Amino acid sequence: MRILFIFSAIAILASCNNKDYNPALYMSKPAQDSLIYSVIRYASKLPPNSDHNTKFESRFDEYYRAVASEYDIRAYYKDDKGIHYFLMTRPARSITPMRESIGCKLVYGRNQKIKEYEEVFRTWKMSEDQLNKKIPILFDRMVKGKSLEEYYPKNAGDQYIEFPDGRFYFDKNERKWRDHLIDSLNNRQ
């Protein structure tokens, strides 16, 4: 009986230290879809015949609705400062079925308008099984503010995070991935 009590106590303590990031615990499927749609213009590829200046025009709504329907949210957490952390996945271009994931931070302002949006990382494309093993590690570290550097390409190759790397970084002001090399070439006088 005493051993059962000890194991129960250990299980309770362990569960207190591990946050449950299951998005279904925090929001309905329509709310998850709404979250995806609110950021899809930043997270997805641009529609044909558009650019970063025109991507918010209503003529592209149908394109973005179709793209958003292929995404899902696999992990979610909101901290006491109002920062929403979420990880969404999407199909990857591949001969075999694969997905890639995007770890994000989001802060809403007035009227649920996006005040801050950041893509903390994007993973390499991988099988569903591989993704399911790696998502919890990356997401938990992101939420806890721990460094993800050991999972960057220079340290882990093509096993975890594809971006950021030594070349590509996420510009929070422009809300898009940028290229250090191209930026430095364009800034030469």
In a domain, 126, yes or no: yes
pLDDT band at 180 (very low <50, low <70, confident <90, very high): confident
Any alpha helices (H) in the chain, and if so which ranges?
2-17, 29-43, 61-68, 128-143, 153-156, 180-186
In a domain, 58, yes or no: no
pLDDT surpasses 70 at 177: yes
Give the tens place of pLDDT for each residue, 96-113: 889 999 999 999 998 889
Instruction: Give the number of other CB atoms < 10 A from CB of residue 36.
Output: 22
pLDDT band at 145 (very low <50, low <70, confident <90, very high): very high
- The pLDDT value recorded for residue 12 is 37
Residue with more model confidence, 189 or 95? 95
Asked if residue 79 lies in contact with residue 68, where contact means CB atoms within 8 angstroms, the answer is no
In a domain, 17, yes or no: no
pLDDT band at 93 (very low <50, low <70, confident <90, very high): confident
Going from the C-alpha of 28 to that of each of 1, 7, 84, the distances in angstroms are 41, 34, 15
Asked if residue 75 lies in contact with residue 105, where contact means CB atoms within 8 angstroms, the answer is no
How far apart are the C-alpha atoms of 65 and 21, rounded to whole Å? 25
Q: What is the pTM of this model?
A: 0.83
Among 19, 20, 124, 131, smallest CA distance to 72 is for 131
Q: How many domains are contained in the chain? A: 1
pLDDT band at 11 (very low <50, low <70, confident <90, very high): very low
Question: What is the domain range of residue 142?
Answer: 71-186
In a domain, 22, yes or no: no
pLDDT surpasses 60 at 188: no
In a domain, 33, yes or no: no
In a domain, 109, yes or no: yes
